[in-house]
Structure formats: structure tokens, C-alpha cells
């Protein structure tokens, strides 16, 4: 539930908060977490949705013709037989329809309640806005404990200096290579070290392309799955797990992370400015895909520079339990070295980050190094 709490706390800091929060899960620890945020007054109407969990199992055991209409053909997929994704944990067609119906009924109830408020309170707009503003961007103390991750502030925030019961979150920025991407593409922070390739992402890349630069690509399983999906018209999938992949001959990847707050004391010259004054931490995540035991290890097979200063091994830590895939943690946190410096681009300033592969036997076949998300936390100055 700690990963969900981090998500909730970030969502509560977004414009027009609190958000409409829908959780497709019925696991008790996560339900309890949402309930606590409701009880504290920070979430007003979160929804936990579980299609099959709402169905009386005895009804599914009836003869097909005796089942309620919405439960008939319950075990049939909407896609043709043999299409990708037909795993037992995925909802089938009628379960999707049931969840849509449940949300529609919930929204109708909400609309009726809203109409009652509007009829009874002529100043409803101002009162609702005032209620949302009354929290002043503050958060409660966290419910879960992520102290062992080494990334408390970026995940859950920090307590107020004058009241430990009130917490706040620093501004967090993110760039990703995953598609679709409306804002915040990973390419926007790349300085150098990438091989440009205009070929279709579903076409296999030659090994020679990786000599002299990291390459935007997709993993073997992802490519095979997307090719299969295309045979069935796409099946509505618009996502793709693209990532930057590198091997030792790809060289150093250089990134530049802009400071995206309005600084009270903007940087004019970066020569003597300590980077940690403006940046609190950097998190880098690899692509979430199934690979072998010989794959690149972000913790041990890569060297990092932040602010043109090498990050010591002790300053590179694995984020435990909050970002994982198939029980493998996929994100690392980088300390900001005390001597790290900023750099400028015109009137903007930011933090240089460099990544170099140090293990000589990293290969594409066994699992190249990959980067799919870069997240950084600002300090308010």
C-alpha cells in the first residue's frame, strides 16, 4: 500500500484537487489506506472497483440460460481466440461491461447528490472551492512507512517545521519514454549519447546501431506482443513500453534536468552554486520487462555523475517495495553530491546527469541497460 499512498499524496498536490480517484483493486491494505484518507477529509469520494468481486458466485454456476443477462457469456473473451492478453487474471468482456455499469450507476448517484447541493445552496460554487482551499496544500502524516527506501521526501513528503502533523510535498518532475506521451517526453532532457533512429519501433534493431550511442527501442517480449496484437487490429492498445537501451560500447548518456520552480533567488551564474540547494534527489527507473539473471543491474553495472561529480556507490540506493515488476525493484535513487554544481541554458538552470555502463559483458541478448523514467525532486528556494 505504500506505493499507492505515494500516488495519492502526489495526486492531492495537483491542480483542482482532490481528484476523482478510481482504484481497480479490492486488496484490503489498499482499501484501508483509501478509507483512512477519507476519514481524515483529504479524499472525498474515492472508488475501489472490482468486477468479479461484486458477483455472487452461485449465479455463475447457474445454467447459461438462467443467468442474469449481464452474466451470460461470462467466460468468453471479447477478442478472437488466441489473441494476446487472455490470461486468467485479466477481466473478460462481460466483466468489463459490469465495471462500466457499476461506475455509471455510481456517477448517476453523484450527479443527483450534486444537483441537490446546487438547489439548496445558491453559493455552492464558492463553498466547494473554499472547502478545497481550506487544506492549503497540506497533507496528513503518512499512514505507511517508507523510511527504509531512502526516498521518504520524494515519496511521501516532509513534516512542516512548526507542526509535525502537517506535511508537504516538494515539486516533483518526471520525464518518461513510455507511450502515449502528452507531456514530459524523455527526449526533452537528453543532451547527448543517443543514436538517432527513425525506423518503426516494431522493427528489430541491428547490434551495430548501439555502438556509439544509446538507442530508443522496445524489449523482445514487448515487440513480440505488439506484433501479435496488430494481427487482431490492435485490440485498442495504445501503450508501448519504449526505453533507452545501452551496452558498454554505447558510451555515456548525458541528461539535463531543468529546475521547474520559480526560484525566489534565480541562478545567474552557476560557478559557486551548490546543486543540493535547488535539487533534493534524482530517481532513475529501468523498463519493466521480464529478463534473465545476467541482465544489466542498475545498482552495480552503471556509474552515475550528478552535477559533474561522480556519485559514490553509497549514494546509489535501490527503491525498495514501491516500484517493482515481477517482484524485481526497478528504480534507483541518486544522492546529490555536496560538490555537485548546476549549469545554465539561456535564462534556465538545471542539473547535469551522466550515466555510463561499467560492466564490460553487458549484452543485448542477456539484457541491456535501460532507462525509461527520470524523476527529480526540487527544493523550494
Summarize pLDDT for 109-158 with one digit per residue, the tens.
Answer: 989 999 999 999 988 888 877 766 665 678 999 998 877 666 788 888 88
What are the pLDDT digits (tens) for 284-304? Answer: 999 998 888 899 999 999 999
Q: How confident is the model at residue 91 (pLDDT cuts 50, 70, 90)?
A: very high
Highest-scoring range by mean pLDDT, 226-230, 264-268, 306-310: 306-310
Enter the DSSP assignment of 249.
G
d(CA 115, CA 109): 10
Give the CA radius of gyration of the chain: 24
Average pLDDT over residues 333-355: 93
* Range name among 132-136, 188-192, 324-328 with the lowest pLDDT average: 132-136
Phi, psi of 33 (to 5 degrees): -65, -50
Q: What is the pLDDT of residue 13?
A: 85
d(CA 230, CA 361): 35
What are the pLDDT digits (tens) for 211-254? Answer: 999 999 998 888 888 888 888 888 888 889 999 999 999 999 99
Name the grid cell of 65: 440460460
Is the pLDDT confidence value at 174 over 90? yes
Phi, psi of 47 (to 5 degrees): -125, 130
Three-class SS state of 52: helix
Give which of 379, 358, 343 is closest to 313, Cα–Cα: 358
Is the pLDDT confidence value at 264 over 70? no
Q: Give CA torsion, residues 8, 13, 18, 24, to 10 deg.
A: -30
Which residues on adjacent β-strands are paired with residue 203? Answer: none
Is the pLDDT confidence value at 61 over 90? yes
Phi, psi of 215 (to 5 degrees): -130, 135
**Stretch (H or E) spanning 81:** none
Give which of 283, 270, 287, 284 is closest to 340, Cα–Cα: 270
Residues 80-100 as b or e (16 or more Cβ within 10 Å = b): eeeebeeeeeebbebbeebbe
Name the grid cell of 266: 534565480
Cα end-to-end span (Å), the chain:
32
Q: What percent of the chain has pLDDT over 90?
A: 56
Q: What is the pLDDT of residue 324?
A: 81
d(CA 89, CA 201): 28
What are the pLDDT digits (tens) for 73-86? Answer: 999 999 888 888 89
Q: What is the pLDDT of residue 271?
A: 62
* Range name among 4-8, 25-29, 135-139, 216-220 with the lowest pLDDT average: 135-139
The secondary structure of 266-284 as a DSSP string is --S--TT-BGGGTEEEEEE
Q: Which stretches within 164-291 are classed as H helix?
A: 220-230
Q: What is the pLDDT of residue 128?
A: 74
Amino acid at each position: 500500500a505504500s506505493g499507492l499512498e505515494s500516488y495519492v499524496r502526489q495526486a492531492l498536490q495537483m491542480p483542482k484537487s482532490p481528484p476523482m480517484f478510481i482504484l481497480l483493486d479490492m486488496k484490503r491494505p489498499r482499501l484501508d489506506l483509501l478509507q483512512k484518507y477519507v476519514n481524515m477529509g483529504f479524499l472525498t469520494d474515492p472508488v475501489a472497483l472490482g468486477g468479479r468481486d461484486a458477483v455472487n458466485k452461485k449465479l455463475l454456476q447457474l445454467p447459461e440460460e438462467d443467468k442474469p443477462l449481464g452474466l451470460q457469456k461470462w467466460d468468453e473473451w471479447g477478442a478472437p481466440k488466441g489473441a494476446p492478453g487472455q490470461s486468467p487474471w485479466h477481466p473478460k468482456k462481460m466483466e468489463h461491461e459490469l465495471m462500466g455499469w457499476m461506475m455509471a450507476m455510481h456517477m448517476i448517484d453523484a450527479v443527483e447528490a450534486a444537483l441537490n447541493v446546487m438547489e439548496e445552496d445558491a453559493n455552492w460554487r464558492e463553498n466547494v472551492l473554499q472547502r478545497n482551499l481550506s487544506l492549503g496544500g497540506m497533507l496528513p502524516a503518512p499512514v505507511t512507512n517508507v523510511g527504509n527506501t531512502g526516498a521518504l521526501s520524494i515519496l511521501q513528503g516532509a513534516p512542516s517545521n512548526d507542526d509535525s502533523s502537517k506535511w508537504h510535498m516538494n515539486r516533483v518532475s518526471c520525464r518518461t519514454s513510455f507511450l502515449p506521451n502528452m507531456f514530459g517526453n524523455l527526449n526533452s532532457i537528453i543532451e547527448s549519447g543517443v543514436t538517432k533512429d527513425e525506423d518503426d519501433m516494431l522493427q528489430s534493431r541491428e547490434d551495430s546501431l548501439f555502438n556509439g550511442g544509446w538507442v530508443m527501442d522496445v524489449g523482445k517480449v514487448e515487440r513480440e506482443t505488439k506484433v501479435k496484437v496488430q494481427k487482431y487490429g490492435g485490440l485498442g492498445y495504445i501503450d508501448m513500453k519504449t526505453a533507452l537501451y545501452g551496452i558498454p560500447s554505447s558510451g555515456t548518456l548525458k541528461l539535463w534536468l531543468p529546475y521547474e520552480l520559480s526560484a525566489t533567488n534565480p541562478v545567474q551564474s552557476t560557478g559557486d552554486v551548490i546543486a543540493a540547494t535547488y535539487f533534493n534527489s534524482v530517481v532513475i527507473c529501468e523498463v519493466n520487462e521480464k529478463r534473465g539473471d545476467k541482465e544489466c543491474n542498475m545498482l552495480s553495472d552503471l556509474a552515475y555523475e550528478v552535477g559533474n561529480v561522480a556519485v559514490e556507490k553509497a549514494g546509489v540506493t535501490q527503491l525498495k517495495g514501491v516500484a517493482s515488476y515481477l517482484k524485481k525493484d526497478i528504480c534507483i535513487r541518486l544522492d546529490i553530491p555536496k560538490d555537485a554544481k548546476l549549469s545554465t541554458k539561456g535564462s534556465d538552470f538545471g542539473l547535469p546527469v551522466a550515466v555510463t555502463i561499467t560492466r564490460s559483458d553487458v549484452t543485448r541478448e542477456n539484457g541491456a541497460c535501460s532507462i525509461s523514467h527520470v524523476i527529480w525532486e526540487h527544493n523550494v528556494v
